A and B are shown apart, each in its own frame.
Chain A
């Protein structure tokens, strides 16, 4: 059976990249981030998800070799 770390890693990498891009491109949008107490929560979440996704992929690779 496929290693579950692969789909998890892929999904979080894709979503992480997407949210990071959203975060970077809306960074100057003060109105948007008023809700989230002036924190660019998209960028933060995006980066965390990207790191998590890549970690999952790295560990899944190790198992195959």
Chain B
């Protein structure tokens, strides 16, 4: 299946207008960047709706959009679990219980919170792992973007890579975090408006939602050889009683604990890339409302990116539609290209440019997000802590760290380019590294959670808990493998997906393996931290922990606020809406 598009000057005009605005925002914001605080923390001055949209936009990178649409075709509405059970409860938890301490402690980053709450070594470990992980992630998405531009637009790989890096560097260097956040908001709207025509046209083509259900009721039993029921692709919880009756291969409790609790809490509540958006808000209240405001559009994103994937599955099985995905070397369809092929199927010149721009935009804002999180952690948690500590001259310091922040931005982009080339040479190794680094989130959640809600937990315990949880995750990954990594004889075909020590257990799909890796890592880390905390002396006094631990921090007074500004009220509305959506698509 041909993947290249023939774009006209109309499509390119749209693309160019968008990038002029992207760089223009950076240029306009440049004059406000007079201190490290303005550059790295956006001066803590943004309204909640801006940080709220940026909060979900950071996560709506192109890899996410392409991956989720592909999952829509592979697993159907089950993919919505990543939103309604995977993201929403974690976002509410972050807003209600954790944000008061992240924001109120005056920490400038998640690693710095660890330093204030625990000790230097816990911060150091987390800061270094985080810095490496963000560069890796940014490099991988840069690589994916260049591949996409090569395959879809027919551009040269190297030029695409350098051009996108230059644009990202341009606006993050000029306007820092504010520029990254403003562009994330812009990107959010362009994605919604750019992909919306696809949903409308796709649904119209298959006869609306009921038409889609009708078509699937013959297609699904047919392609699965009767394994899956007719409505599996349009339901979420209905077939999760047994792992074998849904394409994800996970039972409801695996989804509930693995995805709904460990993976998502680890990601949404501790990943500085995400939390940084809320920390840039203008007040503690705005910071708490950030994830809640973000949660409302978040829960409707499945209709924008998963539903097109389901439509694609139907199109693939109606020969007259002439729709197919490109195949890889093993003659399997490349599901990540679902959204691209849909753009090609439905959009004429004009809106096509808009759709492609939306994808490019989401790639770049993903990179910018990583770079702007990296430069903050580098400047505050590595450079200021270990290389040049703050002096008494606050003003000179701010200027100095602004310079360092700017250099870190350049360094971050260059390192990402290097990572992108490594990914192009050793793709498997990069995937493996990313899997490994994703294992730091689950133990981190256990450690931060205990830190916030149990004043007895200690630094030595937290450090060991982080390391221990990480090692358990590695061990679990090394001892298990997903079924698709094995050949007919049960031998391992790749080391990347696990089983590199020995195969003790085989999971039906990779996702199930990921869930259980996270569950093991989080529980091990929590257990180690609790036991060691009780065995080690408490070093920080109760006074030092005010603002950092729940029991020792006075509650915020929120009387007199209108209901739509109260975090508890917003949280209730968000949870109610997510519940209604889950029931509608049960």
Question: What is the interface of chain A, defined by CB distance below 8 A to chain B?
Answer: 1-2, 4, 7-8, 10-12, 14-15, 18-19, 22-23, 26, 32-33, 35-37, 39, 41-42, 44-45, 48-49, 52
CB proximity of B15 to chain A, nearest CB, Å: 10
Chain A residues within an 8 Å CB radius of B24? 7
Contact indicator per residue, chain B 234-266, by CB within 8 Å of chain A (1) or not (0) = 000000000000000000000000000000000
Contacts of B410-437 to chain A: CB distance below 8 A? none
The answer to whether A8 and B185 touch (CB under 8 A), given A18-B14, A35-B347, is yes
Chain B residues within an 8 Å CB radius of A37? 201, 204-205, 346
Q: Are B354 and A45 in contact (CB under 8 A)?
A: yes
| Interface of B (DSSP majority class) | helix
Q: Are B348 and A11 in contact (CB under 8 A)?
A: no
Q: Are B32 and A4 in contact (CB under 8 A)?
A: no
Contact indicator per residue, chain B 294-309, by CB within 8 Å of chain A (1) or not (0) = 0000000000000000
Q: How far is the CA of A14 from the CA of B24 in the complex (A)?
A: 14
Contacts of B44-69 to chain A: CB distance below 8 A? 45-46, 50
Q: Are A42 and B21 in contact (CB under 8 A)?
A: no
Chain A residues within an 8 Å CB radius of B345? 35
CB nearest neighbor in B for A31: B348
Partner of A15, one of B14, B346, B349: B14
The answer to whether A19 and B21 touch (CB under 8 A), given A4-B182, A45-B193, is no
Judge whether B104 is part of the interface by a CB distance below 8 angstroms.
no
Q: Are A22 and B10 in contact (CB under 8 A)?
A: yes
CB proximity of A43 to chain B, nearest CB, Å: 9
Q: How far is the CA of A18 from the CA of B14 in the complex (A)?
A: 8
CB nearest neighbor in B for A16: B193
Known contacts A15-B18, A35-B347, then 9 further A-B pairs from the complex at CB < 8 Å, ordered by chain A residue: A7-B28, A8-B189, A11-B21, A19-B14, A19-B354, A35-B345, A36-B351, A41-B201, A48-B193
CB nearest neighbor in A for B10: A22
Chain A residues within an 8 Å CB radius of B18? 11, 15
Q: Are B354 and A15 in contact (CB under 8 A)?
A: yes
Closest 5 CB pairs of A and B: A42-B350, A11-B21, A22-B350, A32-B348, A45-B351
Chain A residues within an 8 Å CB radius of B28? 2, 7
CB nearest neighbor in A for B28: A2
Chain A residues within an 8 Å CB radius of B17? 11, 14-15, 18
Q: How far is the CA of A18 from the CA of B346 in the complex (A)?
A: 20
Q: Are A19 and B185 in contact (CB under 8 A)?
A: no
Chain A residues within an 8 Å CB radius of B196? 45
Q: How far is the CA of A37 from the CA of B351 in the complex (A)?
A: 14
Q: Are A35 and B186 in contact (CB under 8 A)?
A: no
Partner of A36, one of B21, B29, B50, B348: B348
Chain A residues within an 8 Å CB radius of B14? 15, 18-19
Judge whether B25 is part of the interface by a CB distance below 8 angstroms.
yes
Judge whether B478 is part of the interface by a CB distance below 8 angstroms.
no
Chain B residues within an 8 Å CB radius of A19? 14, 350-351, 354
**What are 26 A-B pairs with beta-carbon distances under 8 A?**
A1-B45, A1-B46, A4-B182, A7-B21, A7-B24, A7-B182, A8-B189, A12-B193, A14-B17, A15-B14, A22-B10, A26-B350, A33-B348, A35-B347, A36-B201, A36-B347, A37-B201, A37-B346, A39-B204, A41-B201, A41-B351, A42-B350, A45-B193, A45-B351, A49-B193, A52-B193
CB proximity of B527 to chain A, nearest CB, Å: 45
Judge whether B178 is part of the interface by a CB distance below 8 angstroms.
yes
CB proximity of A62 to chain B, nearest CB, Å: 14
Q: How far is the CA of A38 from the CA of B205 in the complex (A)?
A: 11
Judge whether B13 is part of the interface by a CB distance below 8 angstroms.
yes
CB proximity of A51 to chain B, nearest CB, Å: 11
Chain B residues within an 8 Å CB radius of A39? 201, 204
Q: How far is the CA of A1 from the CA of B14 in the complex (A)?
A: 27
CB nearest neighbor in B for A34: B348
Judge whether B221 is part of the interface by a CB distance below 8 angstroms.
no
Q: How far is the CA of A2 from the CA of B144 in the complex (A)?
A: 33
Judge whether B197 is part of the interface by a CB distance below 8 angstroms.
yes
CB proximity of A52 to chain B, nearest CB, Å: 7
Q: Are A45 and B201 in contact (CB under 8 A)?
A: no
CB proximity of B322 to chain A, nearest CB, Å: 11
Q: How far is the CA of A8 from the CA of B571 in the complex (A)?
A: 28
Chain B residues within an 8 Å CB radius of A26? 350
Partner of A35, one of B10, B13, B25, B348: B348
Chain B residues within an 8 Å CB radius of A49? 193
Chain B residues within an 8 Å CB radius of A4? 50, 182, 185-186
Chain A residues within an 8 Å CB radius of B186? 4, 7-8, 11
Q: Are A42 and B32 in contact (CB under 8 A)?
A: no
The answer to whether A42 and B348 touch (CB under 8 A), given A19-B354, A52-B193, is yes
Contacts of B20-45 to chain A: CB distance below 8 A? 21, 24-25, 28-29, 32, 43, 45
Q: How far is the CA of A15 from the CA of B302 in the complex (A)?
A: 26
Q: How far is the CA of A7 from the CA of B346 in the complex (A)?
A: 29
Chain A residues within an 8 Å CB radius of B43? 1
Contact indicator per residue, chain B 462-506, by CB within 8 Å of chain A (1) or not (0) = 000000000000000000000000000000000000000000000
Chain B residues within an 8 Å CB radius of A45? 193, 196-197, 350-351, 354
CB nearest neighbor in B for A11: B21
Q: Are B189 and A2 in contact (CB under 8 A)?
A: no
Q: How far is the CA of A48 from the CA of B14 in the complex (A)?
A: 15
Contacts of B313-370 to chain A: CB distance below 8 A? 345-351, 354
